[in-house]
Structure 1
Amino acid sequence: MTIVLVTDHPETLINASSTKDELLGAIDSARPSTASADWPAAFALAAGAVGGANANRSTIVVISDGGLPSDLPPLPGEVRYIPIGASSDNLALSALSLRPAASGPQLFASVANHGAADRDVIVSVNIDGDLLNAQSLHVPAGKSADLILSDLPKQPAIYQASLSPPPSVGQSAQTLDALSADDSAWAVYAPPTSGRVLLISPGDIFIEQVLAALPGLQPFRAPADAPIPSDPFDLYIFDGVITDTLPLQSLLIINPPPITNSQLPSLLNVTGVFTDTTDIKLADDPLLQFVDFADVHVLKAHSVEVPDWGRVLISSDGGPLLFAGETGGRRIAVLTFDLHDSDLPLQVAFPILISNLINWLSPAQILSAPDGLRPGQPIVVRPPAGATAVTVRTPGGTVFGAEPGEQGVVFGDTRELGLYGVTVSAGGRVQAANYFAVNLFDPLESEIRPRETITIGRSKISAAHKEEIGQREFWPWLAGAALALLGVEWWVYHHGATLPSRPSAPVGRSWFWRRKTEEV
């Protein structure tokens, strides 16, 4: 027997074992999870355990409440379905989110009733641990009810919503429902920030239009022959020009000219121009996500030596067209050709590429999860340049640490419901901190009503009849019966020896009795 545990990452608890103790031990080792079940992966494990040769002699038993997706592939062999659970009574917080507004953020919460009867429930909303609002909602059976709070404080804050039963006459306590994991939810409000971007250019309508269209940016433009303003900016874009002194913030350099300043070649060394821009190749890199260069043509580009800190993102036969990297505590991306010498600004790839580069060069937040995550869903932490450590604290207090790479840190251990804290530091000094929430917003998990049938492939599998599943061991009964028979024989043998002898056994007596009397 093979046992597969269905979680967000299904695993084989035990494979092809017939030992009862091993099977029971494997079942005892299983632990419940709040993450959404990956049924297709579990089906793949089950099909692999059966194998093609054993399909006709194998039985796959699905033990579940029946909350399976409807597009599952067929399984080999016989399939049986054993439903678990007894109640459909469950109220769930199915949504909790915050949106900025002119008068203050707005909170939206939704409560779903998965039961068969109408319910009343108290929805309490806390802000940073203090009660903000409590309202009673009437939720019809099989439907949902919403709660909206407006004009909330504009400061960053942590919100928690929870469900509780209304006071009941004559009852000191009342159970809300059969599943408590979806009775609470968290949300983090972070006010929107606007990154200040300075474009230093003789004039480029293409890049100016993209910067104006991107959300969360405050673009400014300075003439190419003017000194750099002393006001601080999060990102500097040099288009066709290079100043003698470069800012220490992140840089996007487009169409770099030859550099004469002796201090700059160590950062960027432009050696000439090349026209062999055919056979354009894109690296497999997150900065090129959704970027398609299939229809992009480049007339010519500058020959730029890629420094040790740079990685080539887009290349051609004549040389690199785009490279990026981190050096000296700042991030730099270099596009080696003039936008007017290509049809890139006319392609859909242009705004996508610029958006990806700006989000990497100057991320507005170290993470983005305004609506929270589902259990098991990973999140990318994008620390600012110069960060040396990323720390994540789970709701249970476990601390994870990692050294950030150029693409940030991917954190996936989010199976625990609640609030996670993220800290980014450089040399022991905290650079940034933020929070994100993990909530059970999954209707398949909150719908705990046992289903009568499940669909696998094109077949509907009905629930098995209620009966005892397993093997009943009869050998103790057989051994007891054999022992009793031996005891009777022993008793008859010894007690039969004291009986008076008779000439012959009476008619109708057994051969056993006759043999004993003859021996006497």
Structure 2
Amino acid sequence: MQFLAPFALVFLLTIPVIILFYLLKQKKQQQMVSSTLLWQKALADTISQTPWQKLRRNLLLFIQLLLALLLVLALTRPFLERDQQAGASFILLVDTSTSMMTKEEGGTRLELAKAEAEKLIKAQSSGTKFTLIGVGPVPEILANQSDREEVLNALQGMQPGYQEGNLDNTLSLVSALLEKGTMAPVIFYSDGGVSLPEGPVGVKEFQYRRIGTREDNLAIGAFSWRDGPEGPVAMTRIDNYGAEEQEVTVNLLSEGKMLDVQAVKVEPGKPGYLFWPVPKQTAYLEARLEVNDALEIDNTAWLVPHKDALNKVLLVTEGNSFLEQVLKLNSLLEVHKVKPEAYSSVKDKYDLYVLDGFWPDKPLEGQLLVFNPPTSSGLIGERDGSVTEKLQPAPEQPLLDHVSWSDVHVATSKDVKLSADGQALLKSGERTMLGIGKIGQVRAAVFGFDLHQSDLPLRAAFPILIQNLTNWLLPGGEPAETQVTIGSPWELRVRPQVDEVNLYQPDGKKISLAPPFPITKGTEKFSPGLYKLEQVSKGEKALSPIAVNYFSAQESQVKPVIHLMLGKKDLNVEVSTKVKWEFWPWLVLTALLLLAVEWWVYLRGH
């Protein structure tokens, strides 16, 4: 038995007061009488009221003491704990973020959380229903109003992920699951390292079960590179989330082989930095902390010191300074220029051919950017002449982002013929003035007009448009990002003529990304490590390393949160697996019955 108001026990002082009343002497005036025969009863009362004598058995005293004791107990609000009754329900929230991989005595934090939840589930009656939700960036319902066996199976299958926990999103889901007026306790098993709601939430019975005690953790918080005076230099930042200064040894590996070893002292709550010279032609690097701390996953990071390769561009023109200058603005293009009559002597292959009023006799393997194509190209239709109608750019076309046509004028233009998969970017009436599509197996962007017959090169839209078209024509042989952080968007660019794209995980497992195209791939299901991107074109395979890391200060800060605040409410409470049953109303009822008995005894005695 426990008490909700134990301070009320002070009223037990009324018991000695009652006894004192029975011990006090009652003062009476003495009188002489002729006989005591008729005064026997009065004599008995006199004896009972004699002060400081040994207490005699007195039924009224016993009843009054018992009555006082019952009333004092009722004031303390005593209660007993018992199991939930059949038909009750629980909503169990289990944190599945990265910090739940933290090693504790007895297992990881997630294993401890699952053991706590299992203990609660098994303590309930057979009719109790359970809802189990994994708390990650997006809540995951693993069991909904399920019985004991089903929720236990779902609980055992829970695994932590490389992700941050978001309690705000989860509580929004819980509010939707709870029916109006339903009183289901919501129990959250976590170390508290989650994103919390800022305002009030519609969950009343919320309880936080704190998991874990360790706080010692070192983490690689960043791993990057830059060009230095003597060549590429890699930087590693080590963060100390513990309470004491630590000295840690860091190993640097190049393509799996030991390259260098350094040691650094890191003060608590502060970073330490290490710098490494990177050998030329290094495909990838790996940094490892030699430390036995709470969380192992943030002790390793990978780096691909990658530079975008230059794309070779051949400009074929009689002399167009506008085109030459705008192409040279792009630092990723290596621009070469020839006149049409000298084209036949060109032996090298180029990634992009820019043809100004020219068309070759033989098909080209590179991508095409064509201006004012001749009739022999087969790229123009019958419409040709002055442009009299308003220019009509294609709406919501990414290639026309930030390109304004309001101040652009074109004197004359040919009608561009579109391929089956082609798209018109700019029209004037029924005439297509700029189109994109494929010519054979190569991408092509075709302008139906001579730049000298327009004021487009004089407008701010011109370099933006050429940059957009160049990026589309030359998406690159390497991915746009070789450093990928789990949970962040990944821009994946592939070669135009690629037939197949595969991704190899660190364990060698193959994931097919394409076809179909375009490629959409999130990083939420990735695990840290070195991946390889494979592009297959006409039977030839090209591999590119991609470093996938998990940098999260929220998850590397493994110290459990003691005071978890939900709005203004402190949720640092212990979770009870039982129901409190207060029985003070029964004590009050018993006291009332005793009061009636006392009155009856008193009346019978008189």
TM-score (norm 1): 0.76
How many residue pairs get aligned? The number is 448
Q: 2:161 aligns with which of 23, 30, 33?
A: 33
Please tell me whether the aligned partners of residues 83 and 463 of structure 1 are also in contact (alpha carbons under 8 angstroms): no
Q: CA deviation at 1:11?
A: 2.1
Q: Distance in 1 between matches of 2:460 and 2:134?
A: 44
Residue 428, structure 1, aligned to residue 544, structure 2:
no
Residue 223, structure 1, aligned to residue 339, structure 2:
yes
Q: Distance in 1 between matches of 2:293 and 2:267?
A: 15
Letter in 1 for 2:481: A
Letter in 2 for 1:446: S
Please tell me whether the aligned partners of residues 35 and 374 of structure 1 are also in contact (alpha carbons under 8 angstroms): no
Map Cα deviations across residues 320-353 of structure 1 (whole Å, 9 max, x no partner): 4443233433221223445566665566654443
Q: 1:374 aligns with which of 447, 460, 485?
A: 485
Report the equivalent of 1:365.
477
Report the equivalent of 2:26.
none
Q: CA deviation at 1:198?
A: 1.7
Q: Distance in 2 between matches of 1:397 and 1:318?
A: 53
Q: CA deviation at 1:440?
A: 1.3
Runs (5+) with no aligned partner, structure 1: 166-175, 475-520
Q: 2:232 aligns with which of 105, 130, 135?
A: 105
Report the equivalent of 1:90.
217
Residue 330, structure 1, aligned to residue 442, structure 2:
yes
Letter in 2 for 1:12: I
Report the equivalent of 1:484.
none
RMSD across aligned positions (CA): 3.2
Report the equivalent of 1:10.
139
Q: CA deviation at 1:428?
A: 3.2
Q: 1:23 aligns with which of 130, 151, 156?
A: 151
Q: Distance in 1 between matches of 2:320 and 2:176?
A: 58
Instruction: Using the aligned pairs only, state the percent identity.
Output: 29
Q: 1:395 aligns with which of 492, 496, 506?
A: 506
Report the equivalent of 2:365.
248
SS in 2 for 1:383: coil
Residue 309, structure 1, aligned to residue 421, structure 2:
yes
Please tell me whether the aligned partners of residues 453 and 461 of structure 1 are also in contact (alpha carbons under 8 angstroms): no
Report the equivalent of 2:269.
142
Report the equivalent of 2:548.
438
Q: Distance in 2 between matches of 1:420 and 1:222?
A: 41
SS in 1 for 2:295: coil
Q: CA deviation at 1:178?
A: 0.6
Please tell me whether the aligned partners of residues 97 and 187 of structure 1 are also in contact (alpha carbons under 8 angstroms): yes
Return closer, same or farther for 1:37/1:397 CA change in 2, 3 Å cut-off. Answer: farther
Q: CA deviation at 1:248?
A: 2.0
Report the equivalent of 1:417.
528
Report the equivalent of 1:173.
none
Return closer, same or farther for 1:345/1:62 CA change in 2, 3 Å cut-off. Answer: farther
Q: 1:465 aligns with which of 567, 573, 586?
A: 573
Please tell me whether the aligned partners of residues 127 and 158 of structure 1 are also in contact (alpha carbons under 8 angstroms): yes
Letter in 2 for 1:181: I
Q: Distance in 1 between matches of 2:454 and 2:175?
A: 52
Report the equivalent of 2:290.
164
Q: 2:192 aligns with which of 66, 85, 97?
A: 66
Q: CA deviation at 1:116?
A: 1.3
Q: Distance in 2 between matches of 1:350 and 1:454?
A: 55
Moved more, 190-199 or 73-82: 73-82
Q: CA deviation at 1:107?
A: 0.7
Please tell me whether the aligned partners of residues 61 and 82 of structure 1 are also in contact (alpha carbons under 8 angstroms): yes
Map Cα deviations across residues 276-299 of structure 1 (whole Å, 9 max, x no partner): 3344333455x45x4454756443
Q: Distance in 2 between matches of 1:363 and 1:119?
A: 46
Residue 184, structure 1, aligned to residue 300, structure 2:
yes
Map Cα deviations across residues 77-100 of structure 1 (whole Å, 9 max, x no partner): 325444333222110011112234
Q: Distance in 2 between matches of 1:122 and 1:32?
A: 28
Q: CA deviation at 1:388?
A: 1.3
Q: Distance in 2 between matches of 1:347 and 1:63?
A: 61
SS in 1 for 2:238: strand
Q: Distance in 2 between matches of 1:396 and 1:368?
A: 23
Q: CA deviation at 1:40?
A: 5.7
Moved more, 38-47 or 326-335: 38-47
Letter in 1 for 2:280: K
Letter in 1 for 2:557: E
SS in 1 for 2:202: coil
Report the equivalent of 1:123.
250
Q: Distance in 1 between matches of 2:563 and 2:522?
A: 37
SS in 1 for 2:177: helix
Q: Distance in 2 between matches of 1:23 and 1:473?
A: 25
Q: CA deviation at 1:391?
A: 1.3
Q: Distance in 2 between matches of 1:48 and 1:57?
A: 13
Letter in 1 for 2:419: P
Map Cα deviations across residues 140-196 of structure 1 (whole Å, 9 max, x no partner): 00010111112x22114221100013xxxxxxxxxx211000000111123442111
Report the equivalent of 1:497.
none
Please tell me whether the aligned partners of residues 322 and 335 of structure 1 are also in contact (alpha carbons under 8 angstroms): yes
SS in 2 for 1:199: strand
Letter in 1 for 2:369: L
Report the equivalent of 1:194.
310
Bigger Rg, which one: 2
SS in 2 for 1:182: helix
Q: CA deviation at 1:71?
A: 6.9
Q: CA deviation at 1:234?
A: 1.4
Please tell me whether the aligned partners of residues 316 and 339 of structure 2 are also in contact (alpha carbons under 8 angstroms): yes
Please tell me whether the aligned partners of residues 139 and 145 of structure 1 are also in contact (alpha carbons under 8 angstroms): yes
Q: Distance in 1 between matches of 2:213 and 2:564?
A: 17
Q: Distance in 2 between matches of 1:104 and 1:441?
A: 26
Q: CA deviation at 1:383?
A: 2.6
Q: CA deviation at 1:387?
A: 1.8
Please tell me whether the aligned partners of residues 387 and 404 of structure 1 are also in contact (alpha carbons under 8 angstroms): no
Please tell me whether the aligned partners of residues 277 and 316 of structure 1 are also in contact (alpha carbons under 8 angstroms): yes
Letter in 2 for 1:153: P
SS in 2 for 1:395: coil
Map Cα deviations across residues 346-376 of structure 1 (whole Å, 9 max, x no partner): 6665444333322332234331224x21224
Q: CA deviation at 1:399?
A: 0.8
Return closer, same or farther for 1:420/1:268 CA change in 2, 3 Å cut-off. Answer: farther
